[in-house]
């Protein structure tokens, strides 16, 4: 296995990580990423296989569980109840209870609200140049998730601030200041959600928090701590990725001069799938080996971590023809953006719905939409998203 060196905060990589991914793929199915100290893969078949292989998982084996510094205890106390970080049987129980409340019918019912909100946000755009991320990409998902959960829409700025601070824990080059901001945000978020959950226990409403409280299987329900963590996860995971996807997607549509006929309500689904494949929001996800496992000639020992490069897998020429080209009419195939297997993203249907509704409205309302400056990506790896998206309408 070849060792490659690449800082995830190096400016050229931040702006365009794909050349490194191609170099890594040329080294074989797996390579050793020196800066991360682990084997990684951007090979589609390997990524897909590991995501679905129960011999790999998110939860660290007991002997590998890292010691948690005292100053990070509040953050990891929340993570301890996150189905994103757990394996069966706890993951099975949590996911089953969450899906009883977070139903496809409940998500589909949000369509009219997403449509109305998209129009309302566009109508508030300032005259002249506008940062589409600030005025549209950030606001749409956070307001929708606030409405879905049932928390006051006026809390959206706080939710956004807390989310941004907490996901800083997953970014390359995090510092003590990053950690302190994440802990402060966690404590504020938990305090708010705890009071709100108790209020909903006393006064149920037709919202997701009430339905999560009521969700039951074989007499089992979510504890208050599990409820709080689930609400935080639904906001942070869904919101952060959707913001970046809207930004990356609009940037790509404008830079490639994608015909408006491919961004209409009737043709948007394959265009959205190509946006998700071509430049996704999440680039690196890790798994632990739970036993000695061989994948495509590479042996992993129990307790080893492997990095899955989702964005690189989405551009594997073994899976897609001409993968570095944006083709909205590309024949449909599964991509790695939402993961696969046990941990497939529960928020994927909502993210797709938001994109499928919001993008046609945006381009129909603003037929002269164009870039007002060259977009720059922010230094937020493992995520991949823009600093801002300045457009002229």
41 φ, ψ (degrees, to nearest 5): -145, 140
How far apart CA 203 and CA 291 sit, in angstroms, is 48
Residue 237's pLDDT is 77
Residue 102's pLDDT is 86
The string of DSSP letters for 215-264 reads --BTTB---HHHHHHHHHHHHHHHHHHHHHHHHHHHHHHHHTT--GGGGS
User: Between β-strands 284-289 and 56-57, what pairing exists: parallel, antiparallel or unpaired?
Assistant: antiparallel
Residue 119's pLDDT is 98
Q: What is the H or E stretch that residue 305 is in?
A: strand 305-309
pLDDT tens digits, one per residue of 363-374? 999 999 999 999
Under DSSP, is residue 203 helix (H, G, I), strand (E, B) or coil? coil
CA 168 to chain centre: 13
Under DSSP, is residue 115 helix (H, G, I), strand (E, B) or coil? helix
CB 151 within 8 A of CB 235: no
Task: Enumerate the β-bridge partners of residue 2.
Answer: 31
Could you write out the three-class secondary structure of 264-284? Answer: CCCCHHHHHHHHHHHCCCECE
Find, among 137, 128, 164, 135, the residue nearest to 373 by Cα. Answer: 128
pLDDT tens digits, one per residue of 190-249? 999 999 999 999 999 999 999 999 987 778 889 999 999 999 998 887 678 899 999 999
Find, among 262, 257, 283, the residue nearest to 273 by Cα. Answer: 262
pLDDT tens digits, one per residue of 78-94? 999 999 999 999 999 99
Residue 376 DSSP one-character state: E
How far apart CA 156 and CA 146 sit, in angstroms, is 7
How far apart CA 134 and CA 139 sit, in angstroms, is 7
Mean pLDDT of the chain, nearest integer: 94
CB 290 within 8 A of CB 56: yes
**What Cα–Cα distance (Å) separates residue 238 from each residue in 146, 155, 187, 231?**
12, 17, 20, 11
Does residue 89 have a cis bond before it (omega within 30 degrees)?
yes
Handedness of CA 351, 356, 362, 365 (dihedral sign): negative
The CATH number of 2-392 is 1.10.630.10
How far apart CA 312 and CA 278 sit, in angstroms, is 9
**What Cα–Cα distance (Å) separates residue 107 from each residue in 151, 153, 164, 209, 342?**
16, 18, 24, 14, 21
Here the tokens at position 107 are 């998500």
Q: Mark the ranges of the chain whose per-residue pLDDT is less than 50.
A: none
Here the tokens at position 139 are 């606001």
Reduced DSSP (H G I as helix, E B as strand, rest coil) percent helix, strand, coil of the chain, to 5: 55, 10, 35
Q: What is the residue extent of each domain of the chain?
A: 2-392
């Amino acid at each position: 296995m070849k060792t490659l060196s690449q800082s995830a905060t190096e400016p050229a990589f931040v702006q365009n990580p794909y050349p490194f991914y191609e170099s890594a793929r040329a080294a074989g199915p797996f390579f050793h990423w020196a800066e991360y100290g682990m084997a990684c893969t951007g090979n589609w078949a390997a990524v897909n296989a590991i995501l679905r292989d129960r011999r790999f998982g998110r939860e660290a084996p007991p002997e590998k569980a890292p010691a948690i510094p005292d100053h990070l205890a509040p953050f990891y106390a929340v993570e301890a109840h996150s189905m994103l970080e757990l394996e069966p049987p706890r993951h099975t129980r949590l996911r089953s209870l969450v899906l009883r409340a977070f139903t496809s019918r409940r998500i589909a019912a949000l369509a009219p609200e997403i449509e109305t909100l998209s129009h309302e946000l566009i109508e508030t755009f300032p005259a002249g140049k506008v940062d589409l991320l600030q005025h549209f990409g950030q606001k749409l998902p956070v307001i929708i998730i606030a409405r879905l959960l049932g928390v006051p829409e006026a809390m959206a700025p706080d939710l956004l601030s807390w989310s941004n601070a907490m996901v800083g824990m997953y970014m390359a080059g995090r510092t003590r200041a990053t950690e302190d901001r994440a802990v402060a945000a966690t404590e504020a978020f938990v305090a708010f959600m705890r009071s709100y959950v108790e209020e909903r226990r006393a006064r149920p409403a037709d919202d997701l928090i009430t339905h999560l409280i009521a969700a039951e299987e074989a007499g089992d329900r979510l504890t208050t701590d599990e409820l709080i963590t689930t609400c935080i996860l639904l906001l942070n995971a869904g919101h952060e990725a959707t913001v970046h996807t809207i930004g990356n997607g609009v940037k790509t549509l404008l830079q490639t001069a994608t015909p408006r006929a491919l961004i209409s309500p009737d043709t948007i689904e394959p265009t959205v799938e190509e946006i998700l494949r071509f430049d996704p929001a999440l680039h690196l996800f890790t798994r632990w080996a739970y036993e000695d496992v061989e994948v495509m000639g590479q042996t992993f020992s129990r307790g080893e971590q492997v990095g899955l490069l989702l964005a690189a897998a989405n551009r594997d020429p073994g899976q897609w023809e001409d993968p570095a080209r944006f083709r909205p009419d590309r024949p449909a195939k599964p991509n790695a953006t939402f993961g696969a297997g046990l941990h497939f993203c529960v928020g994927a249907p909502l993210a797709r719905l938001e994109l499928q509704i919001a993008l046609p409205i945006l381009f129909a309302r603003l037929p002269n939409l164009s870039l007002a400056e060259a977009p720059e990506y922010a230094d937020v790896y493992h995520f991949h998203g823009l600093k801002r998206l300045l457009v002229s309408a």
